[in-house]
Each structure stands twice: as C-alpha cells, then as structure tokens.
Chains A and B, each alone.
Chain A
Amino acid sequence: GESVGLHLPTLSVQEGDNSIINCAYSNSASDYFIWYKQESGKGPQFIIDIRSNMDKRQGQRVTVLLNKTVKHLSLQIAATQPGDSAVYFCAEKDPGTYKYIFGTGTRLKVLA
C-alpha cells in the first residue's frame, strides 16, 4: 500500500519513554475530538476520543488532553513501544455538519 506521511513532522522517541503528540484545531465551537493512528498502507484506526466538556481522558497507555482556551489537543502515549510507530492524526467534528476534519498528522518513530 501507499506510504503515508513522507513529509510530515516527525517525533522520535526511545522505546520505553513517553510520547507527546500535539495538535492545534481550528474551530472554537468544535465539541468533539478524536485521535487516529495510521500505519503505512492502512486506513486510520481510532485510538481515543474526547468531548469538549472534558479536559482529560485516559485509555490504555494513552491520555488525551484538551485545552479549549488555546484550541490545543495532545496525545500522550506511555511506555512507547515499537508497535506505536505510525502517523497520528487529530480530528475535530465540524459543528453542525457530519464532517470530521483531520489535521496534517505527526509521524512517531520509536527507536530501539
């Protein structure tokens, strides 16, 4: 399949360390946000979501933080593993529509 994200910002992290991936969103009225993981040649895979009435949500090894004041999302991955290597996208639901608007993505490289 096609390799996605050849020209994306890259975050390199040592295996076992924590990763933080950041995303700025555009619409202050957006009330729902999702993080997706995309491996080369595959479609995006849902990781975690958060609604605008929350500041933080935790999953298994992942935490999403939402700062509505500065329209910023972050995804924290604990104890990063080689299998976490992928491109990560944040997406916001466009208010009043059916669209999910994706950011440009960040490539995460896990170093052994």
Chain B
Amino acid sequence: GAGVSQTPSNKVTEKGKYVELRCDPISGHTALYWYRQSLGQGPEFLIYFQGTGAADDSGLPNDRFFAVRPEGSVSTLKIQRTERGDSAVYLCASSLTPAGANTGELFFGEGSRLTVL
C-alpha cells in the first residue's frame, strides 16, 4: 500500500509485559514521528526521527519507552514493563521533508491501539 502502515492494529497485554509496535512509513519519507493519543485528547508528541537518528526524543514519558529506526525506514516503538496508563492509540506519521522545512504534510497511519490490563 501507499500509506503509512502500523502493526499490530490492536494489542492487548498484561501489566508488566513488553510490547513492540511497528511503523512502516511511506517509501522515501525521511522524517518519522511517533505520537500517542489517549481517549478524548489530541495526539501527544513522543519522538521524531530524521533518517536513522532520533532528532528529538523529548516526548518519551520515561525510560520504559524506546524507539529505533535502524535503516532509516521502518521504526519500532518499544515499551517495557507496561503499565495501565500506557493504554492509548500509538500513531506513526511520516513526511517527505524534514520538520525544519516547515511542511505540515504529515501522513499518519491508522494507529496501534494498546490496551494494558
């Protein structure tokens, strides 16, 4: 497909477990974002990659959260020792140009809904 692909679409896990969420951006898009969206809220910034490197990870809530993008394409968001408060929709977005170019054309995936029991 031509859009941003996120897997799994739904993930139910138990408190304390480890979770990985995957994002496959649009081919050729160098910029990649992870956002988190709780019910009734707007998306909350987590981390931004330009190429392989995390240019800004200031939105990660704590050290249980980590994200990688080893080849500058697919990215994985990793959450250790999950807590009930981590339940949310995790959105990935990609962009053709870096955020510094001031383009707003972020293409979002449909998100991965994480439920921690």
Contacts and interface: CB of A to CB of B under 8 A. Distances in A.
Contacts of B58: 97, 99
Interface in B75-98: 89, 91, 93, 98
B39 A42 contact: no
Nearest to A101: B45
A8 B40 contact: yes
A104 B41 contact: yes
Interface residues of B, number: 35
Nearest to B89: A2
Contacts of B107: 46
A110 B58 CA distance: 38
Interface string A27-45: 0000111100000011111
Contact of A2 (B33, B39, B50): B39
Nearest to A31: B102
Contact of A4 (B39, B50, B93): B39
A44 B110 CA distance: 8
B105 interface: yes
Contacts of A41: 110
Contacts of B89: 1-2, 4
Given A46-B104, A93-B102, A98 B39 contact: no
Contacts of A98: 31, 33, 48, 50, 55-56, 98-100
Taking each of B9, B31, B104, B105, which has the highest tally of chain A beta carbons within 10 Å of its own beta carbon?
A: B104
Contacts of B31: 98
B106 interface: yes
